[in-house]
Structure 1
Amino acid sequence: MKYEVRDCIDAGTEFCPCHLAAANECIICSQLSGKSFCDCINWKGTCILQEYSSNGSNPKAQRKSYNAQIEDRIMLEEEVLKLKIKVPRKLAQDLSYPGSYIFIRKPNTMQFYDTPISIMHVDLDENIITVAIEIRGIKTKNILALGKGEKILVRGPFWNGIFGLKNIYTLKNSKAIIAARGIGAAPMVPVIDKLIANNNQVVLLLDKTPFNSFISEEYLKKYNIEIHDIEMLEKGELTEEFINYVEDLIKNKEFKLLHCSAADILSYKITKKFQDSIKLSCCNNAKMCCGEGVCGSCSSRYSGHIVKRLCKVQCEPSNLFEGRRLI
């Protein structure tokens, strides 16, 4: 495995130091991860150890749950629910970045019902966040039972919904390719917003499978984006049509980023095929329960006895899949 620069999405924020620091498992601080010397792997402008000591050797308070209201409820497809939720002003501001997500659940249910959902759109004028939920299991069916005007519990903000965030933020005055499939068409919207805000041109390659409609079309109407419907996967492999189209775009040296907003199978195949040709970013599809690095449900194990808590660790897509143990 090549040298990897890892980061913690919460380092330097109001939620740092967290419970990992208290357990000597800090991702950034060497002294809060069991070592006896100062050797932070990625300096964030603040000393995590000093913050921890100043807070009485206790972690900072973690995310709150807000009793928010459902402003609108729309069935985009038979199994895709769009919710518009009124939230406090600060929470709306904190969720207006690429990779933002929340945990939501029906009131009067246990925290086990917390469902991680990526943010599709934030209206900062009205403090309304929009999410698209694919109805798949017990948690999402529980949310489906809620109606317009009812209350919903929202816990956040969380920011690690995308790997390779640095590549998105640093791309300016250039061109980017977005490959989106299925429900991945929802979390790609803030990525496109950021890329265009940085004066980049975007080409969107869209595979609607398994849906019939383009679930985030309304939020892209304001942009002049080149959109191509294209099948990306066939029997678990990238289609020749998709490979040829991306390769033709990459040959144009102005394209500097390929973002994949889809399931891990597509992110893995795209990373394996194009990681040596262009900078990459992709969705974080880890299974999550707490979002704070404590429960371990998002943990993945890698060769060399390395464990990554994917709710907090920010890394490149190539490092996300390289050396990953499946068992």
Structure 2
Amino acid sequence: MLSERVGCIDAGSEYCPCYLAETNDCLICSHLQGKSFCDCNWSGVCIYQNFYWYGNKKSDIRTVVEGRIIEKKKVHEEIVIFKLKCTKTLARQLKQPGSYVFLRDPEKPYFFSVPMSIMDSDENTGEIHIAVQIIGPKTKSLLKCKEKILIKGPYWNGVLGIKNLKTTKKENVLIAARGIALAPSVLAIKYLLKNNNNITFVIDAGKLGMIFVNDYIKDLPLKTIQLNFKKEEGIKEFSNILEKGDYSLVYSAGSDRFHKRVEQAIENIGKNMKFVISNNSHICCGEGICGSCSSKTKNGKVVKMCKCQLDAKAVLEGRKVNG
């Protein structure tokens, strides 16, 4: 079941306190949950104190900026890579693993905004790279953008267990990714390499049948292995890699079912490894308001997964995902 002790990805940032503080729904602060006592697990600057200093109002909100389309490259019948020009500040903020933004065609209304993971970011040039899988009306509308596109961000909760990822240094790390989830893996790889980790990147091309991130990882010092997790021999080979590699952290990027297969492989070999996963919640507003990403804890508490940090295994258990 989901743990009652949760974290918030925005806590302590310039976007805290947020709208949830005004409605007594803060993920962290017990005072801003309507309680009369302090019972938080937050070790930073007091969120309630900041809320009081701001005049019992939220802090800054994320704004929409107009980005320029530098390149729009179709690499697959379903995949288009956008290279966008934004501010250097936003590009710097989006270098964190799990970063994402909302994109929208300037000619469309606000409800066409769609969350997209950042594949790469360069704060020196103010560029961000995003791989878009064309599926429905929101992503199809992005194809019609010619020169400009609206960008709202930064958002950061694309990885669950981010603390484990960021604190891993000089260790052996295994990253397993499938399909479109190869895109957000690039930021995680670069962050882990910066911390002097040895990385094995296990790639499953998935239904796409291609590895569209090759240009982003070809010059990086990591070992790549291609497997098919849909086949029994692929799972066996992955288990062999896990058993022989002496890994301290495993990062899974894919569907919840893919996460469960990776988790089961870890459990089968009986080794203690930190487990990190991509966040597959249905994110719509990114601010914890709309409720599309809501999950319930074992005691019935509703948490907002666009902001909430929970243990990866607890998330999969709470969703009752089968392998």
With the shorter chain as reference, the TM-score category is over 0.9
Report the Cα distance in structure 2 between the residues aligned to 1:142 and 1:256, rounded to whole angstroms: 42
Structure 1 contact 75–82 (Cα < 8 Å) conserved: yes
Partner residue of 1:20?
Answer: 20
Partner residue of 1:236?
Answer: none
Partner residue of 1:130?
Answer: 129
Q: Which runs of 5+ in 2 are unaligned?
A: none
Cα deviation 1:133-166 (Å, max 9, x = unaligned): 000000000001122xx11000000000011111
Structure 1 contact 5–42 (Cα < 8 Å) conserved: no
Q: Secondary structure at the match of 1:184?
A: helix
Q: Secondary structure at the match of 1:77?
A: coil
Report the Cα distance in structure 2 between the residues aligned to 1:225 and 1:253, rounded to whole angstroms: 14
Give the aligned residue type for 1:229: Q
Cα deviation 1:66-85 (Å, max 9, x = unaligned): 01110111001011010000
Cα deviation 1:214-246 (Å, max 9, x = unaligned): 11111112212211111012xxxxx43333333
- Pairwise CA distance, 1:60: 1.1
Q: Secondary structure at the match of 2:207?
A: coil
Q: Secondary structure at the match of 1:155?
A: strand
Q: Which runs of 5+ in 1 are unaligned?
A: 234-238
Report the Cα distance in structure 1 between the residues aligned to 2:82 and 2:235, rounded to whole angstroms: 35
Please, what is the CA RMSD of the aligned residues? Answer: 1.7
Partner residue of 2:305?
Answer: 310
Q: Secondary structure at the match of 1:320?
A: helix
Report the Cα distance in structure 2 between the residues aligned to 1:325 and 1:228, rounded to whole angstroms: 29
Report the Cα distance in structure 2 between the residues aligned to 1:300 and 1:17, rounded to whole angstroms: 21
Q: Name the CA shift for 1:242/1:35 in 2 (closer, same or farther; >3 Å).
A: farther
Report the Cα distance in structure 2 between the residues aligned to 1:137 and 1:69, rounded to whole angstroms: 23
TM-score by length of 1: 0.93
127-136 or 243-252: bigger deviation? 243-252
Structure 1 contact 162–283 (Cα < 8 Å) conserved: yes
**Corresponding position: 1:245 with 2:237:** yes
- Pairwise CA distance, 1:301: 2.4
Report the Cα distance in structure 1 between the residues aligned to 2:99 and 2:281, rounded to whole angstroms: 14
Structure 2 contact 112–138 (Cα < 8 Å) conserved: yes
Structure 2 contact 99–155 (Cα < 8 Å) conserved: yes
Count of aligned pairs: 318
Q: Name the CA shift for 1:274/1:307 in 2 (closer, same or farther; >3 Å).
A: farther
Report the Cα distance in structure 1 between the residues aligned to 2:46 and 2:193, rounded to whole angstroms: 34
Q: Normalized per residue, which structure has more helix? A: 2
Structure 1 contact 249–255 (Cα < 8 Å) conserved: no
Report the Cα distance in structure 1 between the residues aligned to 2:2 and 2:157, rounded to whole angstroms: 23
Cα deviation 1:226-279 (Å, max 9, x = unaligned): 11111012xxxxx43333333333334631111111112211332344256321
Give the aligned residue type for 1:62: I
Structure 1 contact 180–206 (Cα < 8 Å) conserved: yes
* Higher RCO (Cα < 8 Å, 6 or more apart): 2
Report the Cα distance in structure 1 between the residues aligned to 2:215 and 2:225, rounded to whole angstroms: 16
Report the Cα distance in structure 2 between the residues aligned to 1:166 and 1:242, rounded to whole angstroms: 29
Structure 2 contact 2–298 (Cα < 8 Å) conserved: no
Partner residue of 2:119?
Answer: 120
TM-score by length of 2: 0.94
Q: Name the CA shift for 1:157/1:3 in 2 (closer, same or farther; >3 Å).
A: closer
Partner residue of 2:186?
Answer: 189
Report the Cα distance in structure 2 between the residues aligned to 1:172 and 1:34, rounded to whole angstroms: 39
Partner residue of 1:104?
Answer: 103
Report the Cα distance in structure 1 between the residues aligned to 2:209 and 2:87, rounded to whole angstroms: 34
Q: Secondary structure at the match of 2:69?
A: strand
Structure 1 contact 9–160 (Cα < 8 Å) conserved: yes
Partner residue of 2:163?
Answer: 166
**Corresponding position: 1:32 with 2:27:** no
Report the Cα distance in structure 1 between the residues aligned to 2:209 and 2:97, rounded to whole angstroms: 25
Structure 1 contact 122–130 (Cα < 8 Å) conserved: yes
Give the aligned residue type for 1:286: S
Report the Cα distance in structure 1 between the residues aligned to 2:302 and 2:319, rounded to whole angstroms: 10
Q: Name the CA shift for 1:310/1:272 in 2 (closer, same or farther; >3 Å).
A: farther
Q: Secondary structure at the match of 2:42?
A: coil
Structure 1 contact 302–325 (Cα < 8 Å) conserved: no
Report the Cα distance in structure 2 between the residues aligned to 1:213 and 1:167, rounded to whole angstroms: 30
Q: 2:224 aligns with which of 210, 223, 227?
A: 227
- Pairwise CA distance, 1:2: 8.0
Structure 1 contact 180–261 (Cα < 8 Å) conserved: yes
Cα deviation 1:108-144 (Å, max 9, x = unaligned): 3211100000000012221100000000000000001
